[in-house]
Structure 1
Amino acid sequence: MKREFTVGHLANSRSAALPIAAAVGGMIVPALMYLLLSPAGPLARGWGVPMATDTAFAVALIVMMGRRVPLELRVFLTAAAIVDDIGAILVVAVFYAADLHIGYLAAAAGTLVVLAFLNRSHVYLVLPYILIGVVLWACIHAGGLHATLAGVLLALFIPTRPPPNLHTLMMQADAILLEEAKHGGEVLRHGPSLPALNALDFIHDRLESPADRLLRRAGARSSYFVLPIFALANAGVVLSGDVLAGRGPLVLAIMAGLVLGKPLGLIVASMVAVRTGIADKPEAYSWRQLAGAGALAGIGFTMSLFIAGQAFPSAGDFAVAKIAILAASLCAGTIGTIILWNAKSPTDA
């Protein structure tokens, strides 16, 4: 998402303001709705559960609908979902943290200074960022904050840059290869010279920024390996006759927050941002389509399960929260899909 905000569809501040405003509204309204409906006491700690959107599942449903959903709306939902994922991680780090250890947190701040120095020095090798990122993760974990915050902070400092001029790079590569070809059989026996290989390596590195390179290499492993393991490990719940006994308000609070609060907060905040001139809504999608995306944002699943695990130390409460999150995600996904399937883009009207 950092790439979209720096060199992509959301590089313009008014374009970026719409999903940011939507994400903020989509966090505040569900949390308030949960607090209004949940019982007082320990269960009130779960106000962070309906705040998060499961980016992978929400975007997957949009992708499955193909051309019925404009690319601009996909970018909007992805950006809003990731912004409120970041917000949810910050909530976990601040409000669900263990005892804080200032020494380790100071060391984490020191690693951020090093990351900022690498970024400002235009260091485009990925390895230094990874190594320092591991240290950052360890310091934040030992400091008492939730270590997922390290991923967000690390991503802020991994460099992005505008796409290269492919024509210029092709001319440079052709010139290097033509010069090497003048050596005839020597090149065939030993390969290109070391200076030529270094120059070609530089051209190859220029094709991708470190952020793009990490996304290409780690994205598939995250989506198809890490995420499914997380979902399977955390979604299971043992059903019994008394599992919901006395916990109806908890179920209602979570489901209302995700199914109703999410789209309501997202749509209202988007309208306010556009009407006040803070943000621009692309003409490629209608308000009805935006409402369908807002409904899909109610798919909490992985992040909501994650927060529920932090908020509810009781196994019984956590089990009920899982049931409510799964039911709400199913409802939100169904409602959003129906709205988007039947909505027309402004260009089709």
Structure 2
Amino acid sequence: MIDYSPLLKTLSHSPLAHWQSALAAGLQQRLEGLQHGDLERWQSSLNTLPPVAGVECDFSEGVCLRSNTPLDQTTQTQLHDALQGLHPWRKGPFDLFGVHVDTEWRSDWKWQRVAPHIDLSGKRVLDIGCGNGYYMWRMWQAGAELVIGVDPNLLFLNQFEAVKRYLPHAPVWQLPFTLEELPEPTAAFDTVFSMGVLYHRRSPLDHLLQLKACLRPDGELVMETLVIEGDEQQCLLPEDRYAQMRNVWFLPSVPMLERMLRRAGYSDVRCVDLNRTSVDEQRSTDWMRFQSLPSFLDPADSSKTIEGYPAPLRATLVARK
């Protein structure tokens, strides 16, 4: 698994120095206690990743790794099969030494919508619900000094490690925790991302307050979430599933979410993007062979989910602490 000692050393010279002992103990406990029916398969896939010399990265338009010596066909097949062993791939795409991982989501499209509105140069960044780390690599490319992501999903951790193995010295780290399991952040981060998380929270206002506690004074929150159309009084609380997702609790209108952010103590709140998710942006592929958005929409009316709710509409908001 990932060697976190460089991260712990980095933290000792930062406002997160108090994390060292608690994080080291928590990581040891979590990594020693990892349990999942597919974990052995994932670990086997990681162990068959071929070594690659002369690694070069280009994240200007995606997550792309190249070698100054192109891989032969046997090595490229070995790499392809190892990465396929980590199926399903949700966020991406990745281009790893000529192997194109065509993920369920065109996350590069979302990043193109977010990136013009933020400045990460020299920033200490926290990414909540970071998935397999796709956006963290883009954050680093955008100039972040340190990127830490949290996500308890073990498949996502293994997918992140598949990329991290080829960039071991990058200041990009994924922790197998939830936000609540982290040590007290004491306002240490310049920028906090919460993308695709709020609607999974039973208590959305508490989530906004937790995110604020992670930010230094004048730090910036970047929030992307499902919303509905309407005024500041409108929200949707699904009866059961939303687009076949069980754990969707709260979809506010943009004006309601802006008000919530202000009530939680944020300032300079603004919506910078509003986008209706298309079946070109989220779909099944050879790298995610289960059902995806086309199966979750009403076949007779794509403006509605299969349950009859408004189809997915996503907003990106930025705000200051």
Instruction: State the TM-score, normalized to the length of structure 1.
Output: 0.24
Higher relative contact order, structure no. (Cα contacts within 8 Å, ≥ 6 residues apart): 1
- Structure 1 or 2: larger strand share? 2
Larger radius of gyration: 1
- Structure 1 or 2: larger helix share? 1
Instruction: State the TM-score, normalized to the length of structure 2.
Output: 0.25
